[in-house]
Structure 1
């Protein structure tokens, strides 16, 4: 009914309601995101979570609820490398590359989370470092567990991991504020497109753009929206492989969904959902442009 009211389903259209809604939503999503180059996902929608095969994520769902359910299914994308492009960007305009990484990490956390060196370091903290985040604490923890010097030498340690990257890559800050980015965008030149894209991302996030995550659902996604290494020698891909193995050993707590949520069907609730989700999809589109500016195929 709501998709009919918004014009996404034409009056007189024939077919199963579920199929009509699925197609209408997919067409709407495609208009919001455009042609993605570096992200990929499939939108699933159904009148009940069981129809999505993910009923356990919504244990309190009822057939009487005035809502549908939708989810974002992960799809495979190619690994990309950032070193060459980001090094050139930082050399030409100090702080711009770091600011780009900051907004990539921040905004992807509201949409489709991106695997970067920063993200991989966070994974290491619980799959390799037992909650430690620095070399001294890690050594103390590993020694207490009885690991030998030989064991330690073969492990991914904090210092060994960090040594593969400039410090600003694994802990990026928003070095350039909105005023500086606006100046770069207006000045033209090579930095203008990147600055404009970052301003778009800031605006879409400030306006409330987001996509469903897995908060409160007691599961974590094992996949990422995009995969960005620093260079061919860094350990990011190795850490991801270790994470997959870790997740396989505890499969009940992991899923291949990026996110899932109920879609309200009352007029006000649906309007709020569509506005928020539309901005979130546009945010993915902006992030896709950003990735294309700072990374290239491995």
Structure 2
């Protein structure tokens, strides 16, 4: 790809990332940007949306949640709304940024992936390039070229084409995260526990399906055996895992979405706002409103 001279628009785009612990929002569900960067660090930036970063050229290091990983041409990196990161550039770097909101992931009708949102949040536990499935390398390169072509040569129905390409990129990212997560399981771990975790994450909004009796029936276990099995494999009881996972999602809603409390109540099957607030206070020793105000970072316009 021919390197272009940085113009004022790109310089402003780069500079707005430099201020520590600033929160950036997007004004649309999906946004695709081409960015050229010089050798300056991307320090302590935090976004209110998911972001897929594809490295077109250059190399350097990316720190995500205190984990350092190198990047180079062809790296595909997924940043989730709760990630803290900065970019340390060794060589002038060209990037394609694909930004999409949590609401977009949640509301889109994925054909066969019930827990797409949960799967993408799994990237928080990974660092560096998520493109580990070799056959996907060619697919991603083709999608990226198509997105770049749309940026530089927009045509009729460009928005519809862009959404198609972005959706394909999201699914490929999810596939690679799923495979990477499976590879992180040690030889001593029974892989059935991953199926149980996937089931819990995919049904986290349905209290009836999260009952131990329902999970045990689904996987052919007795309730007693399921409890001891899950504790042995994961290090926590199944109820602790469900409550901790639900709490993480609620925290994300409060910090990185525009959802109202009554919408969160409905989404997670609480009886009313008082019930949700009591659940939240028991763990955080503060109300939902206090938590949101106390954690809210400064917004970048």
TM-score (structure 2 length as normaliser): 0.24
Higher relative contact order (CA 8 A, sep 6+): 1
Higher strand share: 2
TM-score (structure 1 length as normaliser): 0.24
